[in-house]
Amino acid sequence: MANLESFKKEQYINLETFRKSGIGVKTPVWFVEYNGELCFTTEPDSGKIKRMHNNPAVKIAPCKMDGTVTGEWQPASSRFMQGDEIQAVDRLYSKKYGLMKALFELPKIFSKKPERSFIAIRLV
Domains of the chain, start order? 4-123 (2.30.110.10)
Q: How far is CA 84 from CA 24, 34, 72, 97, in A?
A: 31, 12, 32, 20
Q: Nearest to residue 13, comparing CAs of 35, 31, 36?
A: 31
When pLDDT is averaged across residues 82-98 and rounded to a whole number, the result is 89
Model pTM? 0.86
pLDDT tens figures, 32-84: 999 999 999 998 999 999 999 999 999 999 999 999 999 999 999 999 999 99
- Residues 28, 101 contacting (CB under 8 angstroms): no
